[in-house]
Amino acid sequence: MDRRDFMKTSLLAMGTMLTSKLQSSNLLTMIEKDVTYRRLATGERISSIGVGASNLGISSDKDIERIIDIALDRGVNFIDTIVSDDRSVAPVAKAIQGKRDKVLLQMHIGAHYPRHIYSITRNPETAKKAFQEELRKFNTDYADIALIHMIDSESDFRRIVDSGILDHAQQLKRDGVIRNLGFSSHAPAVARKVIEAYKMDAVMLDINAAYDFAPEGNDLTLSEERAALYRECQKRGMAITVMKTFAGGRLLHKDTSPFGLAMTPYQCIQYALDRPAVVSCLIGVSTPAEMENTLDFYNAPEKEKDYSFIGALTFKNVTGTCLYCNHCQPCPANINIGTMNKYLDLGKSGDTLAIDHYAKLEYHASDCIDCGACETRCPFHVKVRDRIAEAKKFFGK
C-alpha cells in the first residue's frame, strides 16, 4: 500500500471510529452531563466544545447571557474572549459572575478594542494595557489560557520577540496571572517555528477539512505540513484549541464547500476533535437555539458525525476551488495567496475579524503585478487573478 492509499484508508477509518485512539492519545476523556472533557497539561478539565464569543456582537445582552447560561448549565466550561465589539463582554462577564472557578477563560495578548471595535496591536505598551483591561472586564485576576495573538508571519514572530511582548507574557505566567501560555496562528509553518523556539502550553489553530487537505497525484490527502504540526504539539504536551471549525460556515453549504458537498456541523466538530492534541473546538453562536443545537452534538448518533466521505474525494470534486494549499507560491509580488483567499472567503461569509486580519498582512491584492504565475502552478485550476481582483474590491486594497 503506498502513502496515498494509506492516508485515504486512515481517514476512512477515523470517520467511522468517532471515539477513536486519536482521542485517547490527546487526553484523558471524561464524560459528565453528556459533555466530553479533555485535560490541559496543567491538569484542568476542559470541555471539548467551547464558546467562541466573536459572533456575540450581533446578539442582545439578554441573549448573550442566555447563551452562556445554556452552555454552563449543560457542562461547557470553556470560553474564548475575542469579540468583534467589546460591548458584548459585559453580559458574558455577568453570566459567569460567581462561577469564575468553574470557567476556563482563553484570553489574548495583542488584541485590543479602539472605539470598542476589534483590532490587533504589536505595540508592547498597548498590548499590556489591553490585556489588563481584558482581565478587568471579566472581573478576574488571571487567565486560564493566554494566547499571544495572531503570529501569522515570520515578521510577526520577530516583532513579538523584539518588542518584549513575549518576555512580558512569560513573566505574567511566572507571576501566576497566566496559567497556560500559548499563541494563535493561521500559518502552520510559522506556528511550527514558534513551538520549536519557545516552550508553549497551548496554541489556537484554524482546523477543518477544507484547510487540512492538499493535492497528491490525482487525489486529495491530508496535508503533511499540518498533520506534522498537530503531532508535534501532541509530542510536546501542548493543547490545541480550534477556531474556524466550519471554515467560516463555508463547509456547511454545498455551493460554498470546496468539496462540492456540504458537511454538517457535527461532522466538522468531530473532524477537528479527531486531530492529535486538540482539546476543544470553539464554536461561534449568536442565539440560544444555536447554542442548544451545537451541544446536541454530544447526544447525536455516530452516523451523524461520520465524515469518512472525504477520503474518497479527488481533484475533480474541487476543481476551480481554492483550498489554501499555497502550491501557487512563490508569488513575485510576495502575496500570500492562500491566506489572502482564506480571509476573502471568511470575510464574504460575514466574519468581521477577517477584515482586520487581512489589513495586517504585509502584502495585499493591490500589490499583484498580474503575471499569472500563480495560475500556472495551481493544481485546482483556480482563476487566481480573478480572486485577487475580488479581494482588492472586497477589502479596498
Q: Is 107:164 a contact under the CB 8 Å cutoff?
A: no
Determine which of 169-178, 189-198, 305-314 has the lowest per-residue pLDDT on average.
Answer: 305-314
Give the separation between CA 246 and CA 308, rounded to whole angstroms.
Answer: 16
Residue whose cell numbers read 489572502? 340
Determine which of 32-46, 57-71, 194-208, 266-280 has the lowest per-residue pLDDT on average.
Answer: 32-46
pLDDT at 8 over 80: no
pLDDT at 319 over 50: yes
pLDDT at 349: 79
pLDDT at 94: 97
pLDDT at 6 over 50: no
pLDDT at 397 over 60: yes
For residue 22, what pLDDT band results from cuts at 50, 70 and 90?
Answer: very low
Model pLDDT for residues 355-395, shown as the tens digit of each residue: 888 888 889 999 999 999 998 888 777 899 999 999 999 99
pLDDT at 346: 84
- Grid coordinates representing 164 are 518584549
Mean pLDDT value of segment 12-25: 42
For residue 32, what pLDDT band results from cuts at 50, 70 and 90?
Answer: low
pLDDT at 33 over 80: no
SS3 assignment, position 335: coil
Cβ neighbours of residue 137 closer than 8 Å, sequence gap 6 or more: 86, 89, 90, 93
pLDDT at 23: 42
Q: Is 65:89 a contact under the CB 8 Å cutoff?
A: no
Smallest CA-to-CA distance from 92 within 71, 111, 123 is with 71
pLDDT at 199: 96
Mean pLDDT value of segment 17-39: 60
Say what the pTM is: 0.83
Q: Is 123:162 a contact under the CB 8 Å cutoff?
A: no
For residue 31, what pLDDT band results from cuts at 50, 70 and 90?
Answer: low
Mean pLDDT value of segment 216-221: 74
Model pLDDT for residues 139-168, shown as the tens digit of each residue: 999 999 999 999 999 999 999 999 999 999
pLDDT at 99 over 60: yes
Q: Is 71:287 a contact under the CB 8 Å cutoff?
A: no
Q: Are strands 219-222 and 178-185 parallel, antiparallel or unpaired?
A: unpaired
Give the separation between CA 110 and CA 160, rounded to whole angstroms.
Answer: 9
- Grid coordinates representing 98 are 460567581
Q: Is 257:265 a contact under the CB 8 Å cutoff?
A: no
Model pLDDT for residues 262-301, shown as the tens digit of each residue: 999 999 999 999 999 999 999 999 999 999 999 999 999 9
